Structure formats: structure tokens, C-alpha cells
């Protein structure tokens, strides 16, 4: 066979590049076919790799779901940290950063993230992972807002309520039920009310 007839050699991806490729294909799979269609075998088929390659990266379907949520959370943290760094020094500035960056991150990922989050609740291990990442985000929010609280504190109940509102409003915006602007404005109001209340209603 001549050199012109032989197939061009395929470029071997580094482990990190392969992981990025698999995650991108997995997000596309969830977006187009739903979370229920997300299996390691199906991912291997769509990514054009053998099953052992996918199993080597994720181990199980639960491992794949955890990797997708971590990918989403890493992206969210990058957006959040950059926005906080560039924000002004007022409560309005900080609250708007939290509201806008949370909604923007969910919209950037699209309507596939609610399915992944819902799937995380299917096992105690995955739900624990979700709560671990949520605790990190809540801590960041407390650090960004506590200086504006009349009592000098922000209670855990208020922060959990804020996170629940952020998730619900962002998902509603992603599904088209409300506009992104409505989600951001409502979340902004929620955050400011939580901070201005301080801990007076929680203690």
C-alpha cells in the first residue's frame, strides 16, 4: 500500500486532553439525549474510543456524574472568583456578582445541568459530593457578604435559603420559564434581604 493510500495516523491525546474531550462529549450527550442516556458505553461510542478508555477515566456511571458536576463547579468558581475580584465595595455590587455569576454559569452550561444535579441525589455518595461543593460556594458567599450584615454575621439557614433560590431561579431561566434577567433580579433581592436581616431572625 502506498503512502497516499495508508490512513493518516491518529494523534494520541494526553490524559488531560482526553478527559476534556470525554467531558465535552458527555455534556453534549446529556443535552441531546438526557441524563438517563448517559452510560459509559454510550459515551465511549460517541467519543470514538474504546470502553476501557472511558472506564479508566471514570470507573462507574457515578464517577462520570461526579466528574461532570466537578467540571460545572470548577467553571462556576472561576466565574465567581473573577467577578468578586473585579466588583465594587458595596453590598449591591457583591450581591449582584453572586446573583449574575450563578445564573450565568447555569445558563452557560445549558439545561443539561439540572438533570446532572438531580442524578447526584440518587446515591448518598454523590449527594455528599454535591453538598461538599455547595459548602465551598456558601463559604465564598459568606466571605463576600458578611461585612455588610448589621449583626456582623450571616447564618447558615439564610445562606442555604439563598442557595436554594439560586438553583431554582437559574433552572427556571435555563428552561425558559423566566428570563435570565428576572432570575438575576429576584436572586439579587433575596441576597440583599438575607444580608440586611443578619442573624436577627435566625437566633
**Whether the Cβ atoms of residue 22 and residue 57 lie closer than 8 Å to each other:** yes
**pLDDT one-digit tens code per residue, 125-134:** 778 888 898 9
Residue 199 has pLDDT above 70, yes or no: no
**Cell 428570563, located at residue:** 179
**pLDDT one-digit tens code per residue, 174-187:** 889 999 999 999 99
**pLDDT one-digit tens code per residue, 82-120:** 989 999 999 999 999 999 999 998 888 776 777 887 887
Q: 22 lies in a domain?
A: yes
Are 73 and 172 in the same domain? yes
Are 159 and 120 in the same domain? yes
CATH number (domain holding residue 113): 1.10.357
As given in the structure block, the three cell numbers for residue 194 are: 438575607
> How many domains does the chain contain in total?
2
Torsions phi, psi for 202 (to 5 deg): -110, -10
Compute the radius of gyration of the chain from its Cα atoms. 20
Are 105 and 179 in the same domain? yes
| Domain of 87, in residue numbers | 68-197
Are 181 and 145 in the same domain? yes
As given in the structure block, the three cell numbers for residue 53 are: 478508555
Give the mean model confidence (pLDDT) for residues 193-200: 79
Are 150 and 184 in the same domain? yes
Q: How far is CA 146 from the centre of its chain?
A: 24
Residue 200 has pLDDT above 70, yes or no: no
Rounded to whole angstroms, the Cα distance separating 201 from 107 reads: 33
**Whether the Cβ atoms of residue 110 and residue 92 lie closer than 8 Å to each other:** no
Are 72 and 152 in the same domain? yes
Q: 17 lies in a domain?
A: yes
Are 169 and 81 in the same domain? yes
Rounded to whole angstroms, the Cα distance separating 109 from 120 reads: 16
Amino acid at each position: 500500500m502506498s503512502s497516499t493510500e495508508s490512513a493518516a495516523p491518529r494523534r494520541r491525546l494526553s490524559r488531560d486532553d482526553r478527559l476534556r474531550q470525554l467531558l465535552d462529549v458527555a455534556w453534549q450527550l446529556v443535552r441531546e439525549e438526557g441524563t438517563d442516556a448517559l452510560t459509559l458505553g454510550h459515551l465511549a461510542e460517541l467519543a470514538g474510543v474504546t470502553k476501557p478508555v472511558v472506564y479508566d477515566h471514570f470507573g462507574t456511571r457515578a464517577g462520570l456524574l461526579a466528574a461532570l458536576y466537578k467540571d460545572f463547579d470548577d467553571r462556576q468558581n472561576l466565574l465567581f472568583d473573577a467577578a468578586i475580584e473585579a466588583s465594587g465595595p458595596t453590598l449591591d455590587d457583591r450581591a449582584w456578582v453572586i446573583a449574575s455569576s450563578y445564573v450565568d454559569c447555569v445558563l452557560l452550561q445549558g439545561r443539561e445541568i439540572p438533570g446532572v444535579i438531580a442524578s447526584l441525589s440518587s446515591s448518598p455518595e454523590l449527594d455528599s459530593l454535591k453538598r461538599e461543593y455547595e459548602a465551598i460556594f456558601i463559604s465564598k458567599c459568606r466571605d463576600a457578604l458578611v461585612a455588610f450584615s448589621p449583626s456582623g454575621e450571616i447564618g447558615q439557614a439564610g445562606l442555604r435559603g439563598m442557595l436554594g433560590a439560586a438553583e431554582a431561579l437559574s433552572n427556571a431561566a435555563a428552561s425558559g420559564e423566566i428570563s435570565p434577567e428576572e432570575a438575576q433580579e429576584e436572586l439579587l433581592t433575596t441576597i440583599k434581604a438575607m444580608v440586611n436581616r443578619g442573624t436577627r431572625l435566625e437566633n
